[in-house]
Each structure stands twice: as structure tokens, then as C-alpha cells.
């Protein structure tokens, strides 16, 4: 376990007292490469608190605590509604037609506590949109990327979500932003063919995978951040 490397990362990320999506991805990669035992997890937790204590000398305590809460979602994810650690919840696959994919998406939004990054081709299912808005009202920080050709379709909820105050960007190239994934609290990834539409739930043969693999989450987080930075 490279403790010195973790210490350097934490000190660097604490400078602005915020944990960005990119920084969460870097921490997720570090965990995947370095943490394999409970002892190592304990050491990582101790280093995090030590870095926070040192920063309190020059920083507002409340801001430092927020940083700790964000970082712990990557190093030691919060428990899920079922009481299991989010990272230890088994990876699962869900299929449609039927409500399995829809229910898992809504469940993840209901249990989100800090952040959700959404990158989906289209959002027209009001049941999912309501779960997004509910998370927003609870104070969860959300970002949405979608495709411009679908954002203005009849039934699209993109503009209503933007109007509610959720940061939303659209791909305006001649091609499609065709991803369908979302990252919850830096600890769970939903990804698959499933568009967030009623047709996907009621008619199409689609799939959603729910994963806590930290390396995979880091890869998807970097992709989200790269797209987000390119769009207006």
C-alpha cells in the first residue's frame, strides 16, 4: 500500500476544500490499486482524518468536514438502504421489458446522498425524472449530460430538469451522445442499453448493470468529466 502517495493526493485535493468528480475518480483508481485488506482500509481512513485535522488549522471546519464526507464515499462508501456497504453490494444485471431496470434506477436516486452524474441519451420517463427532482430537493448535487437531438423531443424532461436548477449540458455535434450511465456518490455505477423512457420499460429488450467496481467507476467518471468539460 502506497501510503505516501495517498497522503500527497489528499493534501493536494484539500487545497480548494472541495472534492471534484475528477478527484473522486483518481481516489477510486488509487483504492483499486492499493486497498485489498481491512487493515489497509483502516490506514487509509486514518490518513484521511489526519489530513483533515491538519487542514483545519487554516480552513473552516465545516468545509473540511464536507471534504471528509465526500472522500469517504470513495475510500469507505456509505451504507446502502439494505445496510450493506455500497461497494460490497453484489454487482447485478437487470432486464426489460418489465420494471426491473426502472426500479433499480429509481432506487439508486432514492438512496443518493451527495452526488449523481447522469449521462444518458434521452430522459422521457416521468417516474425517473421525479426521482431526479426528489434527489435535487434533498440537496444531492446533480449534473446531467444528454443529446441535443433528444433534449427537445416531445415528452423530453431535459428542459424541466434544467429549469429546476440542475446543471445540464447537451451534445450539439452532428453525432449522438449515446451513453446511458449514471454514477451515484462515486460508489455505484448504472450502465447499459436502457434509455430512460417508458418504451424501454414497457416494450424494449434492454439491460442495466449495477456495479460497485471502483476501477470501472473511475473510468466512467473520467469519461463523464471529459465530456462535461467539452460541452457548453
Give dist(CA 168, CA 154) in Å, integer. 18
Q: Give the closest residue to 70 by CA, choosing from 9, 21, 32, 136.
A: 21
Catalytic one of 125, 147, 185, 225: 185
Quick check: is 39 catalytic? no
Give dist(CA 78, CA 87) in Å, integer. 9
What does the DSSP assignment read for 97-129?
A: SSSHHHHHHHHHHHH--SEEEEEES-B--HHHH
Q: Give the closest residue to 81 by CA, choosing from 102, 98, 101, 106.
A: 106
Quick check: is 157 catalytic? no
Catalytic one of 180, 210, 225, 230: 180
Within 10 angstroms of residue 64's Cβ, the number of other Cβ atoms is 20
Catalytic one of 7, 22, 149, 178: 178
Say which residues have a Cβ less than 8 Å from residue 143's Cβ, sequence separation at least 6. 21, 116, 117, 118, 166, 167, 168, 169, 224, 228
Quick check: is 185 catalytic? yes
**Contact indicator for 204, 91 with CB cutoff of 8 Å:** no
Q: Which residues belong to the active site?
A: 178, 180, 185
Amino acid at each position: 500500500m502506497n501510503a505516501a502517495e495517498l497522503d500527497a493526493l489528499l493534501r493536494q485535493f484539500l487545497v480548494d476544500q472541495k472534492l471534484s468528480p475528477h478527484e473522486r475518480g483518481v481516489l477510486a483508481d488509487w483504492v483499486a490499486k492499493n486497498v485489498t485488506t481491512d487493515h489497509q482500509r483502516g490506514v487509509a481512513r486514518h490518513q484521511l482524518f489526519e489530513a483533515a485535522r491538519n487542514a483545519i488549522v487554516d480552513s473552516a471546519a465545516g468545509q473540511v468536514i464536507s471534504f471528509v464526507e465526500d472522500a469517504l464515499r470513495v475510500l469507505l462508501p456509505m451504507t446502502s438502504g439494505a445496510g450493506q456497504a455500497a461497494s460490497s453490494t453484489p454487482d447485478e444485471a437487470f432486464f426489460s421489458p418489465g420494471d426491473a431496470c426502472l426500479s433499480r434506477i429509481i432506487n439508486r436516486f432514492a438512496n443518493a446522498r451527495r452526488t449523481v452524474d447522469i449521462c444518458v441519451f434521452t430522459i422521457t420517463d416521468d417516474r425517473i425524472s421525479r426521482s431526479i427532482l426528489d434527489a435535487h430537493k434533498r440537496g444531492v448535487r446533480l449534473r446531467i449530460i444528454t443529446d441535443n437531438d433528444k433534449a427537445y423531443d416531445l415528452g423530453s424532461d431535459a428542459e424541466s430538469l434544467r429549469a429546476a436548477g440542475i446543471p445540464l449540458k447537451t451534445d450539439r455535434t452532428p453525432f449522438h451522445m449515446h451513453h446511458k450511465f449514471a454514477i451515484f456518490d462515486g460508489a455505484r455505477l448504472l450502465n447499459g442499453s436502457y434509455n430512460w423512457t417508458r418504451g424501454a420499460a414497457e416494450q424494449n429488450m434492454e439491460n442495466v448493470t449495477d456495479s460497485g467496481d471502483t476501477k470501472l467507476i473511475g473510468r466512467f467518471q473520467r469519461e463523464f468529466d471529459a465530456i462535461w468539460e467539452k460541452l457548453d
